[in-house]
Structure 1
Amino acid sequence: MAYFRKVQAKNKKGYTWSFTIELGRDSSTGKRKQITRRGFKSKKEAELAAHQMTIDVDNETFVNEEKNILFINFITDHLHIIAEPSVKASTFRGYKSAVEKRLIPKFGHMKIKDLSGKMISTYYNELLKEGLTEEFIQYIHAVLKNASKTAIDWKYIKNDFMNNVKAPRRQKKNVETWSIEECNTFLNRMRDQKDHIFILYYLAIYTGMRRGELLRIK
């Protein structure tokens, strides 16, 4: 239930409207829980804001106050509570490495409520200038998208700092490939190497197997 009041403005020139919403009682203390908002120009404006807040409370999407939590503390919890149980161990190692080597050094000292889309986009440009690939930055982007969703789910922030942030598109690259004659010349030279080395190159050229697949061959 919402209560509306007409109160004197802070500058003491005219009046504004405020509302208070009752949220029942705190189960641990027994005290009444209330949310009050002030400064509305009209009762209608206050009613609309109270209505939206009531919907958010009922849908459990309302954030009364953003938390003063550092990014380093939040992302560490996100890693071990959300990411680690939901992916393979090898995937988690890459995820953790990206967080520790790229995200924590850049944003670790900041409060997550202070992060913004502009900061993230600027960081992507810095990574491009550093020479990192678009593919790697897209990976960083995916990590941040998952993290921002967790921050909202945990009600640490009101707004998604990744909203409307776009990762750089992959650039088309001209890849030079060997001719059949060049492949055979290379393999003939590799015959002088140990058998398993020659076999790995042979399979890579004639089957198209990826490096990870080749390394799993026993």
Structure 2
Amino acid sequence: MRGLNRSVRKKGESWSFRLDFGKIDGKRKQIERSGFKTEKEANAALSEVLNEIYKTGVFTENKKVTFQQAYDEFLENEAPNTRKFTTIVRYKSLYKNHFQDIAPRYLFNITDKTIQEFINTKQRRVR
């Protein structure tokens, strides 16, 4: 990835890696992880982060962002520029009728299991 500086180094008894994206929106963006027992472990973790960035274009950290906050941000910033008005109306309807149950959950806590439980609950209500 162009403009992306990466390094793996030893800090005391453990290994760490740093990924430097340079300045994004006027702020320096870096990802640093440490505590790996070997250089190989640090490189493997770095590779995982890079793979996620290459696949999705973004890296999501375990920040405390709720589903509600992500939904609101999407509706405010991205949806008006990329979706038709009728699609946004549909999103709001779906949210109101189905997704308010998971609104207070943090995104990093929403797992495959959480989603399956959500689907099962919705199916039981329909029957």
CA drift of 1:6 comes to 6.1
Q: 2:118 aligns with which of 105, 112, 123?
A: 123
Structure whose residues are more often strand by fraction = 2
Q: Is the 8 A contact 1:53 1:62 kept in 2?
A: no
Q: Report SS of the residue matched to 1:69.
A: coil
AA in 2 matched with 1:19? S
Corresponding residue for 2:35? 38
Unaligned runs of 5+ in 1: 9-16, 133-218
C-alpha distance in structure 1 between counterparts of 2:50 and 2:21, whole Å: 16
Q: 1:78 aligns with which of 68, 74, 78?
A: 74
Change (3 A) 1:127 1:39: same
Q: Is the 8 A contact 2:8 2:43 kept in 1?
A: no
Q: 2:96 aligns with which of 81, 86, 100?
A: 100
C-alpha distance in structure 2 between counterparts of 1:24 and 1:131, whole Å: 47
TM-score by length of 1: 0.43
Corresponding residue for 1:4? 9
Q: Is the 8 A contact 2:8 2:16 kept in 1?
A: yes
Corresponding residue for 1:110? 105
C-alpha distance in structure 2 between counterparts of 1:84 and 1:24, whole Å: 28
Q: Tell which has more relative contact order, 1 or 2 (C-alpha 8 A, sep 6+).
A: 2
Q: Report SS of the residue matched to 2:20.
A: strand
Q: Is the 8 A contact 1:25 1:33 kept in 2?
A: yes
Change (3 A) 1:49 1:71: closer
Change (3 A) 1:75 1:24: closer
TM-score by length of 2: 0.67
Unaligned runs of 5+ in 2: 1-5
Superposition RMSD in Å: 3.3
CA drift of 1:97 comes to 0.8
1:49 correspondence with 2:45? yes
CA drift of 1:119 comes to 1.3
Larger radius of gyration: 1
